[in-house]
């Protein structure tokens, strides 16, 4: 009886681990009423939803502050060319101030069950990218969030620099131009590609899984696309409709 119970437990654990997990894209902002993308409120919403994780984007201001915002501009101000104090004057659409990385991570720490998927945006120089990586990793470590944080970027330099500075960090590449074998050769942990890339390369998910790589896809807002990716064995999907895909 004990052996049967242990076998059932193992099978159950394997089944759970095989399930496609949901990541909220820029937090869960697509609510009624909607809130601001990448806002603290969108992070809180994702935490309340009890999904696997939530993704957010990092830029660095002219004076070296790390802030959470998807676009290169906040309003009409280019973040990389504007001091933090000036950026902070313009509030988000939901009335919040532009979040700093530290503020965002402090909220993230309140629920250890929700993974923090940190996207570091490419910049105009390798040196600046490396500086941002150093500052991000330092902030994450200071707040004790290494095990709760994974990293993604469209910049191969940023991805490799993260692994160089912290070999234990989980890093996935976003651009979509490298095969699973190339991702493995670069020493990265996975590929997080737009779903159209997987449609054009239908063997990549299974190839990546066989290589022990993490597989993720963005931004999946169509239930049919989600089901197709899930049937191929993708590990994660990133979506603007996490509430609708949760549990499917």
Q: Read off the pLDDT of residues 189-203 as tens digits, 9 standing for 90 and up.
A: 999 999 999 999 999
Strand segments (E) across the chain: 21-24, 53-60, 66-68, 73-74, 77-78, 115-120, 149-153, 171-173, 190-194, 214-218, 236-239
Res 29 pLDDT > 90: yes
Domain contains 92: yes
Domain contains 11: no
pLDDT per position as a tens digit, 199-238: 999 999 999 999 999 999 999 999 999 999 999 999 999 9
Q: What's residue 18's pLDDT? A: 65
pLDDT per position as a tens digit, 57-67: 999 999 999 99
Burial class (CB in 10 A: 0-12, 13-18, 19+), 229: buried
Domain contains 217: yes
Domain contains 1: no
Residues in the chain, how many? Answer: 248
Burial class (CB in 10 A: 0-12, 13-18, 19+), 95: exposed
Q: What's residue 1's pLDDT? A: 45
Q: Which two tokens stand for residue 110?
A: 């309140």
pTM: 0.92
- In angstroms, the CA 47 to CA 27 distance is 9
Confidence of residue 10 (pLDDT cuts 50, 70, 90): very low
Confidence of residue 14 (pLDDT cuts 50, 70, 90): very low
Contacts of 120 (CB under 8 A, 6+ apart): 58, 129, 132, 133, 136, 151, 152, 153, 155, 158, 162
Domain contains 195: yes
In degrees to the nearest 10, what's the CA dihedral of 123, 127, 130, 132? -50
Q: What's residue 248's pLDDT? A: 84
Structural domain of 138: 21-245
Res 17 pLDDT > 60: no
Could you tell me what percent of the chain has a pLDDT over 70?
93
Res 246 pLDDT > 80: yes
Identify the CATH number of the domain in which residue 33 sits.
Answer: 3.20.20.190
Domain contains 49: yes
Domain count within the chain:
1
Q: Which two tokens stand for residue 145?
A: 């969030």
Q: What is the mean pLDDT of the chain?
A: 94
Confidence of residue 4 (pLDDT cuts 50, 70, 90): very low
Q: Is the dihedral of CA 31, 20, 192, 58 positive or negative?
A: positive
Domain contains 8: no
Domain contains 164: yes
Confidence of residue 247 (pLDDT cuts 50, 70, 90): confident
Confidence of residue 243 (pLDDT cuts 50, 70, 90): very high
Q: Is the dihedral of CA 102, 25, 184, 189 positive or negative?
A: positive
Q: Which two tokens stand for residue 92?
A: 């988000």
Arithmetic mean of pLDDT, 174-179:
98
pLDDT per position as a tens digit, 76-120: 999 999 999 999 999 999 999 999 999 999 999 999 999 999 999
């Amino acid at each position: 009886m004990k052996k049967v119970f242990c076998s059932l437990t193992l099978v159950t654990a394997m089944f759970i681990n095989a399930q496609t997990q949901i990541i909220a894209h820029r937090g869960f902002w697509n609510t009624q009423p909607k809130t601001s993308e990448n806002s603290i409120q969108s992070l809180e919403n994702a935490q309340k939803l009890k999904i696997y994780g939530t993704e957010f984007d990092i830029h660095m201001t002219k004076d070296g502050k790390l802030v959470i915002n998807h676009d290169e501009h906040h309003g009409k101000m280019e973040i990389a060319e504007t001091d933090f104090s000036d950026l902070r004057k313009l509030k988000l659409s939901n009335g919040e101030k532009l979040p700093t990385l530290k503020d965002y991570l402090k909220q993230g720490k309140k629920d250890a069950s929700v993974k923090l998927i940190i996207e570091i945006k490419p910049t105009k120089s390798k040196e600046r990218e490396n500086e941002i990586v150093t500052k991000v990793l330092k902030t994450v470590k200071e707040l004790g969030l290494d095990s709760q944080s994974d990293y993604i970027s469209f910049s191969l330099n940023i991805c490799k620099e993260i692994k160089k500075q912290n070999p234990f960090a989980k890093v996935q590449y976003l651009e979509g131009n490298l095969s699973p074998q190339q991702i493995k050769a670069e020493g990265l942990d996975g590929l997080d590609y737009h779903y159209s890339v997987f449609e054009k390369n239908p063997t990549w998910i299974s190839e990546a899984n066989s290589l022990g790589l993490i597989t993720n896809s963005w931004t999946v807002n169509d239930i049919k696309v989600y089901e197709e990716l899930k049937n191929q064995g993708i590990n994660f999907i990133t979506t603007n409709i996490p509430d609708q895909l949760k549990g499917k």
